[in-house]
Amino acid sequence: MTSSLKRAVGRRSASLSLADRLFSTGEDRRTAALIEDAIDALEERLSVESRFAAGLVDVVARYLLEAGGKRVRPVLAFLVAQLGDGITPDVQTAAASIELTHLASLYHDDVMDDADQRRGVPSAQNVWGNSVAILTGDLLFARASQLLAQLGERAIRLQADTFERLCLGQLNETIGPGPDVDPIEHYIQVLSDKTGSLIAAAGQLGLIFSNAPSAYEEPVRVFGEKVGVAFQLVDDVLDLSPHSEETGKLAGTDIRAGVATLPVLYLREAAVTDAEAAALLERLTPEALESADAETADAAITALREHEVTRRTVAEARRWAAEATAALAPLPDGTVKKTLIRFADTVVERTS
């Protein structure tokens, strides 16, 4: 889990901050302990479910799992399950499937983006090549499907719809917006499909398989969609961070790969009337960054990080997080609602 998510769900009292220990309720602490126990069990489950055959296949399949991860989606499933019967065996199975789906998508994303690093280690495609990375992602998708098939038609349909959106998001990102489509609206839809849909599905599965009231499903789905967009917009800002030891990626990885993140899209808008913005945009093309020496390339990334368009991106992330919070109004007051709101807040705190 990320440090922000740890703050959102809390930890056992030994690792809670003083403020958490003073002001969290008994229910908060019990929920935090339940979720941490569930995450421990999930890690064991994922270790088992990512085994396919002896030798290199398992090494590659477990590569990103063993590199760590945020486990945002399972935590969301476990948290909202508290609105129903709690973390049932079916909720655990659904959470494992969702996390395997997320892991599978990372193998594919790194091939598409030609990424050098993921989670602080060389990307799988950088180590074993594109074909091995793609097939490993396919294997993990297959195992995720097998798990959800155990839960019945509702789970299968939800997974199929989510998988379709994941593919559409990646395809639309690759193709780019049409001539009559606003590039920023197109980009936000890509984020909603690629990131928001899976976070939303995690919440829905946690509700469905804990037998929580069906009236809560739509608010949780909307929350997941919107907080997912906010999460990715913050990642657009973190992509510019010089602290690769924290992000696990080279500063400007997405931009170097030709991904038009929101700061770049805003810069393109500004470049129409602003000569300085146009000049910076020229320095940030993948070709310019690749041909420049390291110091010159880093200076261009730094200039974008310090530009107004990046502050504007942070503001947009906060807007999406606020809308995610507003969607939770129908949920009952208590630990779940409070923690979801805290999570939405901590998502945007990651920019600092």
**Interior angle at CA 114, CA 141 and CA 118, nearest 5:** 65
Confidence of residue 68 (pLDDT cuts 50, 70, 90): confident
Tokens representing 55? 């030798």
* pLDDT at residue 249 tops 70: no
Residue 18 has pLDDT above 50, yes or no: no
Q: Count the Cβ atoms, other than its own, within 10 Å of residue 27.
A: 13
- Give the mean model confidence (pLDDT) for residues 213-235: 96
CA atoms within 13 A on the CB side of 139: 18
Query: What confidence tens digit (pLDDT) does each residue in 160-205 have?
Result: 999 999 999 999 988 999 999 999 999 999 999 999 999 999 999 9
Q: What is the pLDDT of residue 315?
A: 96
DSSP for residue 180: T
Residues 6+ away with beta carbon under 8 Å from 162: 101, 197, 198, 200, 201
**pLDDT surpasses 50 at 322:** yes
Q: Are strands 121-122 and 117-118 parallel, antiparallel or unpaired?
A: antiparallel
pLDDT digits over 261-305, tens only?
999 999 999 999 999 999 999 999 999 999 999 999 999 999 999
Nearest CA to 111 among 218, 223, 257, 292?
Answer: 257
pLDDT digits (tens, 9 = 90+) for 94-143: 999 999 999 999 888 888 877 777 777 888 888 888 888 899 889 999 99
pLDDT of residue 232 exceeding 90: yes
pTM of the prediction?
A: 0.86
* pLDDT on residue 16: 42
pLDDT tens profile 283-292: 999 999 999 9
Q: What is the model's pLDDT at position 24? A: 72
Using only C-alpha atoms, the chain has a radius of gyration, in whole angstroms, of 20
Tokens, residue 198: 């899976």
Tell me: pLDDT of 22 over 60.
no
* Predicted pLDDT at 44: 92
pLDDT of residue 246: 59
The Cα-based distances of 100 to 40, 58, 71, 143, 257 in angstroms read: 16, 14, 10, 8, 25
Structure tokens at 258: 């030709």
Q: What angle do CA 126, 282, 109 make, to 5 degrees?
A: 25
| Whether the predicted pLDDT of 336 surpasses 90 | yes
